[in-house]
A and B are shown apart, each in its own frame.
Chain A
Amino acid sequence: MNQLIGLAGAIIVCGNQSGPASLFSRTITYIGRRKDIIWELLVEHIYLVLVSIAIAIVISIVIGVMISYKTGPAIVVLTVCQILMTIPSMAMLAFMVPIFGIGFTTGVVALILYSLLPIVRNTYTGIKEISPAIVESAIGMGMTEWRVLTKIKIPLARPVIMAGIRTATVMIVGIGAIAAYVGAGGLGELIFQGISRSNEPMIIVGAIGVSVIALAFDFILSWGERKLMAISKTGEVK
């Protein structure tokens, strides 16, 4: 959604400038002239998001599973994640710099922190929503805790976890643009440089690029989610 608004914004910017046709053609010229660097930054941006989300998935699912066993810690962990989410991204990045310096790592760490809440929360709820009777009969038949987790709980919670991963991914594509501020690279560089040099085509290419990545991830992940839903739908019993 945010990306769509961004896209619309970019188009409006085009319209308000000295003449839509001239800005449009300037942008096209810019893309033609700098397509190597644009492509490089696009790939860099995707790489930044993929690395962050991959690490975030592992960490968040582990945390989500752990807190599903204890209600007290669950509330604490979920609240902490909630608070992390509310920190403005600029501030978050600024906090990171003294610890991790300037560069790719700082961006990754910040993006991981932002991805935690959706995935942890969905892992937790996905597991909690499984009917207690299903878990009890699994235990009662002699499954070990590990087998219950891997054979019953995670497969049943998978569609919900996937939805969390999708939310997190699309969100950090946008935040990833700001990570260029601390030298993490990506399309954000075009936007920041474009602003400082008053180079509109640069800003527009950066913004549209970010939107395209976000829409692409959203499309691919929602397709995957539907696939998973279809699998568990055949056996859906609540």
Chain B
Amino acid sequence: MIKIEGVSKIFPGSKIPAVDNLNLEVKEGDICVLVGPSGCGKTTTMKMINRIYEPSSGSIYVNGQDALKMNPIKLRLDIGYVIQEIGLFPHMNIEENVATVPNEKKWPKDKTKKKVAEMLTLVGLDPKIYGKRYPSALSGGQRQRVGVARAMVSDPPIMLMDEPFGAVDPITRARLQNEFLRIQERISKTIVFVTHDIDEAIKMGDTIAVIRNGKLIQHATPSDLLSAPADDFVANLVGRNRSIKRLHLIRIHEILDNVDRLKPAIEDLPLDDLKKKLDESDIRSVMVVDRDNKLKGVIGVADLKRKVGKVAADFVQEIDQAVTDDATLNDALSVMLECGEGFVAVVNEDEQYQGTITLGDLLNVVKEEG
């Protein structure tokens, strides 16, 4: 889908090439993550694909066509583009921002409008609420979502993303990553994704290309990169605690079936039954759900003494952070550390309770994999 052959880039006034004879192939539907220290040439490499920078030598094929011989405007219209700063247009509202490429392609008005609303919904922003707002009225995470929607609106087969989730806090970032991977499962774009964060690379990438000083050091699947780093540099990059890094590769739903855990308490469970249930619990806590299996909160042993009541609902403590079942084990670990608890509740997209993961479960996974 994307083929980079012997590409070099020397910026004017510089003797050292920013990108040095680089070869890389990205298969259709794959996310290829370019990773490396800052200034290593990963962004330059990405920006040569849509010819923001022109290569000094070498050739680039996009979808079988020689990108360097194509009209750059035509080339770019079919490549989604998200940069770290997002670059939303401050004088246009969200709808107008997302409609940028359709307007350049001169789509009919109603088609654009429909597609824009569809894209905003896809990235989790209600077009009725956010469509007429201006970028300044949005949070960092929302802006990033708009950036992604804007890049995908014309359904380009290829997307270039330069640290698209860079400028938000870690928890929002994890959520955006998971949402994006969920969308990607449906739309299967060919994506070149740039990051300096190896954890993000392992999580997002179907393949990872490690770049240093403008040279490609290793291009492999995340799993291979962790088990067989090509040299000391790559080994250093992925770090010593590689078994912990594997937590990025495993999704929660993959291990949930193997975890034998107590059934949750329904919220109207009488106190005596609740006590019995707590005695059986290995984490001295019981999750509480309503009749529709929706997570209400948690009851710990201590909560029984602190409060008076007759049924489970009287004791329940709200949970700040639950994880979705498509999050990675690493996301689960972060939430546990964040909340200072040894367990975390897992819900699906509709907030239905799916199970509970404990620190012990994660240790078992690391032990088995290691």
Residues of A near any B CB (own CB < 8 A): 131, 133-144, 147, 152, 155-156, 231-232, 234-237
Contacts and interface: CB of A to CB of B under 8 A. Distances in A.
B93 A138 contact: no
A156 B91 contact: yes
A234 B136 contact: yes
Contacts of A152: 89
B100 A143 contact: yes
B83 A141 contact: no
A237 B90 contact: yes
22 contacts: A133-B86, A135-B87, A136-B87, A137-B81, A137-B83, A138-B87, A138-B89, A139-B52, A140-B50, A140-B52, A140-B160, A141-B104, A141-B151, A142-B78, A142-B101, A142-B104, A143-B73, A144-B73, A231-B91, A235-B90, A235-B136, A237-B90
B319 interface: no
A183 B78 CA distance: 61
Contact of A140 (B81, B89, B92): B81
B75 to A, nearest CB: 8
User: What does DSSP make chain A's interface, helix, strand, loop or mixed?
Assistant: helix
Nearest to B81: A140
A232 B90 contact: yes
Given A134-B87, A137-B83, A237 B100 contact: no
B76 A142 contact: yes
Nearest to A147: B104
Interface string B35-52: 000000000000100101
B290 interface: no
B1 interface: no
B135 interface: yes
B199 interface: no
Contacts of B89: 134, 138, 152, 156, 235
Interface in B61-112: 73-79, 81-93, 100-101, 104
Nearest to B160: A140
Contacts of B130: none
10 closest Cβ pairs, A-B complex: A137-B87, A133-B85, A142-B76, A142-B77, A235-B134, A140-B81, A235-B90, A133-B87, A237-B90, A134-B87
Q: Which of A143, A234, A235, A236 has the most CB of B within 10 A?
A: A235
A155 to B, nearest CB: 5
Contact of A237 (B50, B73, B135, B150): B135
Nearest to A144: B73
B90 A141 contact: no
Contacts of A237: 88, 90, 135-136
Contact of A235 (B52, B75, B92): B92
